[in-house]
Chains A and B, each alone.
Chain A
Amino acid sequence: DIQMTQSPSSLSASVGDRVTITCRASQNINTYLNWYQQQPGKAPKVLIYAASNLQSGVPSRFSGSGSETDFTLTISSLQPEDFATYYCQQSYSFSRTFGQGTKVEIK
């Protein structure tokens, strides 16, 4: 199975900060990488698909980059509604593994 490792596991940031979350795959997954946001008690919501494509309706402050094994999710200017947990997920293999999550908290 492909393992997905996110870092950091959690971070504290202030409104307006630039935030970067990284995700590393245990093997080359090309650009088959998605990012989801999950608010407490809610289902996840896709933000970025295929490494760098912004899902319709998602604010442009979210962006993704990377390929092969190393990927990044960036929030250019953190907003109050962005405090949540973020997950990367590979769709290269049939076992659609997720990273362990990164919790973004208010500083």
Chain B
Amino acid sequence: EVQLVESGGGLVQPGGSLRLSCVASGFTFSSYAMHWVRQAPGKGLEWVSSITSSSTYIYYTDSVQGRFTISRDNAKNSLYLQMNSLRAEDTAVYYCTRLVLNDAVNGQYFDYWGQGTLVTVSS
């Protein structure tokens, strides 16, 4: 059974830092690109960052570029998101999610998601 389990969320003051982790099981982690998606309270989904299977390509949404760093350790089946210089608008549930490819039909979609971890940025 595929599982993604996030941890590391919590309450942090503006300007502070947090490191989120996502531990994967039930599949060959090193074969998949992984993404972080967040959802502010009562709001929609926002894509945050992605990392390819070998960490060759990394992307961020503009609002977190230069403040957040995505990484992975394939030996530990783990995905990370280092968040620095946190702002109130970063308050959200952060989900890690797996990207699956179906080249026959131009399919690239998120097929498994973790349960999410809540990050609250407040003084």
Contact = CB atoms under 8 A, between A and B. Distances in A.
Nearest to A35: B109
Contacts of A55: 109, 111
Interface residues of A, number: 27
B105 to A, nearest CB: 4
A53 B115 contact: no
The interface residues of chain B, by DSSP majority, are classed as: strand
A49 B102 contact: yes
A95 B46 contact: no
A71 B31 CA distance: 30
Interface in A6-52: 30-32, 34, 36, 38, 43-46, 49-50
A99 B46 CA distance: 9
Contacts of B107: 49-50, 53, 91
A87 B46 CA distance: 11
A99 B102 CA distance: 22
A31 B109 contact: no
Contacts, number: 69
B32 interface: no
Chain B, interface residues (CB within 8 Å), range: 20 to 34
Nearest to B60: A95
B115 A101 contact: no
Given A43-B116, A94-B50, A101 B45 contact: yes
B110 A46 contact: yes
Interface string B107-122: 1111101111000000
A1 interface: yes
A95 B114 contact: no
Given A46-B110, A96-B35, A87 B59 contact: no
Interface of B: 35, 37, 44-47, 50, 57, 59, 61-62, 95, 102, 105-111, 113-116
Interface of A: 1, 30-32, 34, 36, 38, 43-46, 49-50, 53, 55, 85, 87, 89, 91, 94-101
17 contacts: A34-B109, A36-B45, A43-B113, A46-B111, A49-B102, A49-B108, A50-B102, A50-B106, A53-B105, A55-B111, A85-B44, A87-B44, A89-B45, A94-B59, A96-B50, A98-B47, A101-B44
